[in-house]
Every structure is written in structure tokens, then in C-alpha cells.
Amino acid sequence: MGAQRGPLAAVADFASRWFAVLVLAGGLVGLVLPDQTATLAGHVPLLLGVIMFGMGLTLRPADFALVLRRPWAVLLGLCAQFLIMPLTAVAVSWVFGLSGLLLTGMVLVGCAPGGTASNVIVYLSRGDVALSVTLTSVATMLAPVLTPLLVLWLAGSDLPVGFLDLFSSIVQVVLLPVSAGIVVRVLAGRHVEKVLPYLPLVSVTGIVVVVAAIVGANADSVISSGILLVAAVITHNGLGLLLGYFAAKAARLDESACRAVSVEVGMQNSGLSASLATAHFAPLAALPAALFSVWHNVSGSMLASYWAKRPTRKPRRISRRT
């Protein structure tokens, strides 16, 4: 008989299952109680660091071995991640007439690595989970260099922040916590295994609070430009999922790998985008990240439901001789 699961594990399961709904609820709370939730905006980097540490605890050095075994699939996924979403962010912003801090926020979302929930969505989609974990891990490690370069290139050289400032922020809130989590997993693996079932609760709680804080700090902007910005965010996410899938198809990856690349490209680490926006720009620049955090979990869940009903391999036809 397996070990009996406690109430906390049941709460963690509930949080994972209803992630999208909880994030949406967080956004609504921020809209209804803007003054109270806006005070949490300054804690976004700390919350993201905790989330990233939890992500590190789920990783092992073996998760990076796929780079050597399937370099083409990993390279294709990384190129799609750091090309499709950043360039699409600029194109979508131009189409919807977004400028200033909203343009900066869209670019920040586009230049972030894959989101922390992407691995779960790939699993539910019958996708290549090993490839998904590898892409998330490697993209996160590359983010301190690639994200600042892409942001400064696409959002304009006149931004009030330099490469080293963005690099330092990402190292502090992403690279160091993730690396610390990996080290703790290596040194205390058996103890970490006991807390792994509860980590989704930490991640979900952190993301919900981040979304509530950002929406609360921008409640007026959400009301005034909400429909236009929501449409831009939905378009950005949809194009990422679509173009990521067909980029993998064009590279002749199998169906399960195509699903993994699609999700990795379309689901961004919007928490990192929000953290960078609040630390170096203004709360308004974090608004696209907050809305993206809500929507990409909704779209990811819907896509997973669609793909879960469709096998990744076509059944073989049995030929009959007449």
C-alpha cells in the first residue's frame, strides 16, 4: 500500500488542477482590491526567486543530458523560443498600436524563457516531457544573457536600463535560485523527494500573488485599455503556440516533440517579465506579463485537453491481400 496522502498534498493537487482558474481569480482580486494588492508589487522579485528555487528542486543534472543525446531538437526549440516570441511581440504591438511602457512589457514577455507550468502542460498534451524539461532548464540558464540583449535590441536603445542591470536582476531572481535548488536536490535528494508533491502549491500561490499585485497596481490601466491589451496578449500567445508547432514540424521532429516545442514557445516565464518590469521600469510595463500569466495557463489547459484526446502516432494500417 502507498503512503497515505495528507490534506496539504490534497491542496497541492487541487492547486495544480485548477491553476488557470486560481490565477484568473488572483487577477480579479487585484482588480477589485487595487489598493491592498498593489502594496505587494515590490515583493514580486522575491516571490519569483522562491518559485525559481522550487523549480530548481525539481531538476536534476540528468535533465540536461538530452542536449548531448538530441542536440538538433534542443537547438531548434531554443532558437524558436528566443526568436519567435520576441519578434512576434514587436509585430503584435505594432498591429495593436501599443507603444511606450506597454510595448516594453510585451517585449519583456516575448524575451523571457519558457514558463514554469509548461512541463505539466506538455505532459497532459502527450508531448515529449524530457524535451520540455530540457528546453525549460537550458532556456532559463541562458536567460541572463539572451533576455537583456533581446530586450535592449527590440524595445529600443533609449530604455532607462542597461544590459548589466537586467543581467544582474535575472541572475539574482532566476539563475541563483534555480542553481541553488539543483544543488540542494543533489545533496539532499531523499529529503527533497518528500517535499516535491507540495511544490506546486508554492508555485501556484506565488504566481497568483504576483498577478494580483500587478493587476492591482495597474487597475485603472486594465479598465481603460484592457480589451485592446488582452487581445494583443491572446494573439501573442496564440502565434507562439502555432508558430512553435510548425517550426518543429518543418524541422521534421516527431509529433510529441512538436507539441513540446509548441508549448515551450507559447508559454513564457511571465513572472520574470513582471519582476524585470517592476524593478527597472514602471508597474504599467508589468501589465502585459500579468495578463499573459492568466491567459497562457488558460490556453495551455485548453490545448492540453485537445491534444490529450489525440494520439501522437497514427495507428498502422494492416494491409489485406486480395
Which sign, positive or negative, has the C-alpha torsion 245, 21, 310, 130?
positive
Distance CA 86, CA 106 (A): 8
Going from the N-terminus, what domains does the chain have, and what CATH number goes with each?
Answer: 21-302 (1.20.1530.20)
Q: If you write DSSP's letter for every residue of 170-185 in order, what string do you get?
A: HIIIIIHHHHHHHHHH
| Mean predicted confidence (pLDDT) in 47-66 | 78
| Residue with grid cell 485548477, as numbered in its chain | 18
**251 burial level (CB within 10 Å; 0-12, 13-18, 19+):** middle
Q: Which residue has the cell 523571457?
A: 112
Q: Output the nine-digit C-alpha cell for 165.
A: 542591470
pLDDT band at 163 (very low <50, low <70, confident <90, very high): confident
Percent of the chain with pLDDT over 70: 92
Query: At 99, is the secondary structure helix, strand, or coil?
Result: coil
Compute CA 23 distance to the chain's CA centroid, rounded to the nearest angstrom: 13
Distance between CA atoms of 12 and 205, rounded to whole angstroms? Answer: 10
pLDDT in tens, 241-258: 999 999 999 999 999 999
Retrieve residue 180's grid coordinates: 541553488
State the pTM of this model.
Answer: 0.79
Confidence of residue 261 (pLDDT cuts 50, 70, 90): very high
Query: What are the pLDDT digits (tens) for 9-28?
Result: 777 777 767 777 787 888 88
Q: Are 18 and 204 in contact (CB under 8 A)?
A: no
Does 223 have pLDDT greater than 80? Answer: no
The sign of the dihedral angle between the CA atoms of 295, 300, 305, 307 is positive
C-alpha span between 106 and 103 (Å, rounded): 5
Region of poorest pLDDT, from 157-166, 174-183, 188-197, 230-239: 157-166
Amino acid at 278: T
Give the angle subtended at the CA of 298 by the CAs of 82 and 23, to the nearest 5°.
100
